[in-house]
Structure formats: C-alpha cells, structure tokens
Amino acid sequence: MVQIDSLVKTGKSLMDECKFDDALGYFEQALLLNQNDPDLWNHKGVALRSLGRYVESMECFNRSLEIDPRDKHAS
C-alpha cells in the first residue's frame, strides 16, 4: 500500500531526526490501515522504546511476534 509506505517513510525520517513522538503518530496511522503487519508493530515499538515507554514497546514487539513468530526484526 502506497499510503502505508509513505507513512512509514515519514516516520523513519522523523526517527532519524530524534522526533520520536511525531514518528510514533505516523506509525500509529499506518497501523490503523493494517494491524496485521509485524513490521509496523516493530516500528511503533522502537518509537515507544525511544520515548522511554518500555512496557508499551514490549507489547508492540510481542504483538509483532504473535503475527509472525519467526520475525527476525522483532526488537
């Protein structure tokens, strides 16, 4: 999906700029469009971890692994 790709690209750029809160918003928007993509859950988890929201980040990483237990990118 082009829209999801655009949201993720923007989110990643914001992460590179250490704008973690803004990036989180983009990853959450992407998840509204597809909740079954383990990569989207990982992106959200990384953003949350960067904000020091560790419990929530672990929930995202665990969700990613529920979707794809062999997910090699789960943080």
Full residue range of the structural domain in which residue 22 is found? 2-67
Q: Confirm whether pTM is higher than 0.85.
A: yes
On whether residue 74 sits in a domain, the answer given is no
On whether residue 27 sits in a domain, the answer given is yes
73: which DSSP letter?
T
Cα-to-chain-centroid distance, residue 75: 11
The pLDDT tens digits of the residues spanning 9-62 come to: 999 999 999 999 999 999 999 999 999 999 999 999 999 999 999 999 999 999
Give the C-alpha separation, 19 to 70, whole Å. Answer: 30
Q: Count of CB atoms within 10 A of residue 32's CB?
A: 10
- Residue 70 confidence class, pLDDT cut points 50, 70, 90: confident
On whether residue 75 sits in a domain, the answer given is no
Cα-to-chain-centroid distance, residue 37: 10
On whether residue 25 sits in a domain, the answer given is yes
> How many domains does the chain divide into?
1
CATH code for position 50: 1.25.40.10
On whether residue 72 sits in a domain, the answer given is no
